[in-house]
Structure 1
């Protein structure tokens, strides 16, 4: 076993690091995939040297991405997750008993394989849940080929807008996501840090408002990510339904959540700083 050292993501003149060791690393067809064992947050995943998740951090991210969408959509029978190869998003979706089918499309099979092997707690029982269907392939192409109004919820759990995730942040992709969303549906995406990726965040929210009609960012924290301050943006065509929590769905999952609750969600949507509110309203 290598001696412990510092494993850093370096972004825009700042280092975001954990003390630990690299336990597996390989270049896939798409990116460099690294598994680390850290002292603070347990095992974690990096893609091309950027932090994706860790055992002691993942709930900050996955609960925030999933539950506003699944507690706000009119129905949640059919869910599409694009990306999400570590399994955390699928796990949180499948905690909702009303989900009948969940399709996950992950471009990199190595991420799935290594997450199952090294980070089994993230996916939990999702990999063997009969409602779960995994496709290893291009999520952008999947959305383009899917039938109109075929999903109640579409969730994008991608990495930063570079490399294999670059196409997840453009109008053509968002328009397909709107097209395949059923009436009363909700779209959700991680939308970067409003500090470290400020312009990407602003552009993403504005574009989603143009495409869907209604879109709002929600702010929280993932301490291992650049700046620690993160965002998720939710969109719908028939009003800001993602802000309205269906009480029965919330009650069924709340006791198992570490971060998310209806109260936390209300505060997270309202925690928009003045400069960001001005920028989004220009």
Structure 2
């Protein structure tokens, strides 16, 4: 038992635990740890990604504002998300008929299934779930126009294999492949630890879609503990208003998300960031 730390910008974010497995994949160093406080967890290149008793803070926040507000939710695309948590939350919605998950690193999928089975839950065996181990950026570029109702980008920080998930061409393809009434969602970093990346990401999505709104919450194991997800849609800010029937079908199974929590999270824009976003 020892300390496992993510070191970022002069600050350490650590858990007391043990390393269960560690290997360099073709893309990054993948680490599985076991901790007393948050259970088993995943790091990529030494950065915290998820843990059994933290993941709901992240996965509920990125999924339900989108899935509860898109006009239709038959076809969903998740780019990244190899731990399965985002797919699991999407598939709680009965209206989802087909979910494509495109994860670049097969080792992340393999070890998430082996060591973190509770995070993906039943998604791996759900007949609506379709896994592709490959490049999500290329997938978005090659997908037919208006082919998805919801596009969710569940990537890591903008470095290494996830770097291309934070640029204009990629966001433009995400908009192109959305159907009318479709909703786009992406994790958009910490407004404290990654302040400029966060601001630049929200501004860029606003340029591409004409509007976008960040939602603020917390993932205590991440740098600063304070996190954001940004939403846009093809036809206005529909993600601000969850459909009551869809929300009622899932919120009783949520630990963090509810329509009330969502309202507060969209309203929780810090004053200085609100000024910078204009």
Q: TM-score, normalised by structure 1?
A: 0.98
- 2:48 pairs with 1:62: no
Look up the match of 1:108: 105
Look up the match of 1:207: 204
Look up the match of 2:24: 27
Match of 2:124 among 111, 120, 127: 127
Alpha-carbon displacement from aligned partner over 1:227-275 (angstroms, at most 9, x marks no partner): 0000000011211000011000000001100000000000000000100
Look up the match of 2:75: 78
The count of corresponding residues between Structure 1 and Structure 2 is: 278
Please, which runs of 5 or more residues in structure 2 have no aligned partner? none
Q: C-alpha separation between the residues in 2 aligned to 1:237 and 1:62?
A: 23
Look up the match of 1:97: 94
Look up the match of 2:42: 45
Q: C-alpha separation between the residues in 2 aligned to 1:268 and 1:250?
A: 16
Q: C-alpha separation between the residues in 2 aligned to 1:206 and 1:264?
A: 24
Alpha-carbon displacement from aligned partner over 1:111-157 (angstroms, at most 9, x marks no partner): 00000000000000000000000000000000000000000000000
Please, which runs of 5 or more residues in structure 1 have no aligned partner? none
Look up the match of 1:176: 173
Q: Is the 8 A contact 2:178 2:234 kept in 1?
A: no
Deviation at 1:105, TM superposition (A): 0.1
Look up the match of 1:5: 2
Match of 2:232 among 235, 241, 250: 235
Alpha-carbon displacement from aligned partner over 1:72-112 (angstroms, at most 9, x marks no partner): 10000000000000000000000000000000000000000
Deviation at 1:214, TM superposition (A): 1.7
Q: C-alpha separation between the residues in 2 aligned to 1:188 and 1:139?
A: 14
The CA RMSD measured in Å over matched residues stands at 0.4
Q: TM-score, normalised by structure 2?
A: 1.00
- 2:219 pairs with 1:222: yes
Give the SS at the match of 1:188: strand
- In the TM superposition, structure 1's runs of 4+ consecutive aligned residues that sit over 2 Å from their partners are none
Q: C-alpha separation between the residues in 2 aligned to 1:98 and 1:213?
A: 28
Q: Is the 8 A contact 2:215 2:230 kept in 1?
A: yes
Q: Is the 8 A contact 2:16 2:36 kept in 1?
A: yes
Alpha-carbon displacement from aligned partner over 1:150-183 (angstroms, at most 9, x marks no partner): 0000000000000000000000000000000000
Q: C-alpha separation between the residues in 1 aligned to 2:74 and 2:241?
A: 18
